[in-house]
């Protein structure tokens, strides 16, 4: 079955600390990979995406993610957390065949401690 | 350029009723996707419309139906509402249908509560 797994439904970090949010996918063919952020009472905003090419992808707000095919992973990182990073983060995949729809993980809520 | 808008923002319905949710896509986009996000869960794909035709459907029963209009705005209709239909319904617009990897731009959602 094709799926997206986000390890850790809640992650807490101190302000200024490294942020690491984990995402693994299961698919025989590497999909296109996305990270979205959702602030309270808002829709989803794209942070970054990987389609082809360089496996280290830089996104908005200082976030980046690295596609590792051997590990079927696409973990999201940020060197130094800001209070404004507190939100829900979703990893999503789109498979290379079929409709242009996204399959989402269950999300990770990031709390930033002052 | 306006983004994706959805109406209404909130809605309360009774079990067994019918509901229509609306979405205006971003200017220039011809594809609309609908997602259901239950509390504490990630969004789940309901269906997608491309140039007024259904272009893919997730694992949702037929009482979830939709329309896309010539201006590419869209409606999601849900008949015979059940308590489990309570969720945030997200609309996303993009270009291109099935080809390419086009970014989906999400609206703020409609929160539906079924009592």
User: Contact B103/A41, CB-based, under 8 Å?
Assistant: no
For residue B1, pLDDT beyond 60: no
Return the closest-CA partner of residue A39 out of A108, A75, A89.
A89
Rounded Cα gap, residues A58 and B67, in angstroms = 36
pLDDT tens per residue across span A77-107: 999 999 999 999 999 998 877 667 889 999 9
Q: What is the pLDDT of residue A99?
A: 67
Using the Cβ of A40 and the Cβ atoms of chain B, whether some distance falls under 8 Å is answered with no
The angle subtended at Cα A85 by Cα B103 and Cα B26, nearest 5°, is 25
> How many CB pairs below 8 Å do chains A and B form together?
69
Q: Is A95 on the interface with B (CB under 8 A)?
A: no
Sequence-distant (≥ 6) Cβ neighbours of residue B21 within 8 angstroms: B6, B7, B8, B11, B75, B76, B77, B78, B89, B91, B110, B112
Tens-place pLDDT, residues B59-78: 999 999 999 999 999 999 99
Average pLDDT estimate for A18-35: 90
Mean pLDDT, rounded, for A53-66: 94
Chain B contact probe: residue of A1, A6, A44 with most B CBs at under 10 A = A44
Q: Which pLDDT does position A100 carry in this prediction?
A: 73
- Tokens 């409606």 correspond to what residue? B75
Instruction: Using an 8 Å CB-CB cutoff, list chain A residues near B68.
Output: none
Q: Sort out which chain B residues have CB atoms less than 8 A from A30's CB and list them.
A: none
A103 lies within 8 A of chain B by CB:
yes
Q: Which residue, chain included where needed, has tokens 């992808």?
A: A57
Judge whether B40 is closer than 8 Å to chain A, CB to CB.
yes
Identify the pLDDT of residue A98: 66
Q: What is each CA distance from A4 to A22, A24, A66, B36, in whole angstroms?
A: 10, 6, 16, 17
| Residues of B with Cβ-Cβ distance to A98 under 8 angstroms | 56, 98
Mean pLDDT of A22-28: 89
Q: Do A92 and B101 touch (CB under 8 A)?
A: no
Kind of pairing between the strands at A73-78 and B64-68: unpaired
With CA atoms as reference, report the closest residue to A29 among A92, A98, A95, A73.
A95
Chain A contact present for B21, CB below 8 A: no
């Amino acid at each position: 079955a094709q799926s997206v797994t986000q390890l850790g439904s809640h992650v807490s970090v101190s302000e200024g600390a490294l942020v690491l949010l984990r995402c693994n996918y299961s698919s025989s063919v590497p999909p296109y990979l996305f990270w979205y952020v959702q602030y309270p009472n808002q829709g989803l905003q794209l942070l970054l995406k990987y389609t082809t090419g360089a496996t280290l992808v830089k996104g908005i707000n200082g976030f980046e993610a690295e596609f590792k095919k051997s590990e079927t992973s696409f973990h999201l990182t940020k060197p130094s957390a800001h209070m404004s990073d507190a939100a829900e983060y979703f990893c999503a995949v789109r498979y290379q065949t079929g409709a242009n729809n996204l399959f989402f993980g269950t999300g990770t809520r990031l709390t930033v401690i002052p | 350029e306006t983004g994706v808008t959805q109406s209404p923002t909130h809605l309360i319905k009774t079990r067994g009723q019918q509901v229509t949710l609306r979405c205006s896509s971003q200017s220039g986009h011809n594809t609309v996707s609908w997602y259901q996000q239950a509390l504490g869960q990630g969004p789940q794909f309901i269906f997608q419309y491309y140039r007024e035709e259904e272009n893919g459907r997730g694992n949702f029963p037929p009482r979830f139906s939709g329309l896309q209009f010539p201006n590419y705005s869209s409606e999601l209709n849900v008949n015979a509402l059940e308590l489990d239909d309570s969720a945030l319904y997200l609309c996303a617009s993009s270009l291109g249908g099935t080809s390419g990897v086009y970014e989906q731009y999400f609206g703020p959602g409609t929160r539906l509560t079924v009592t």
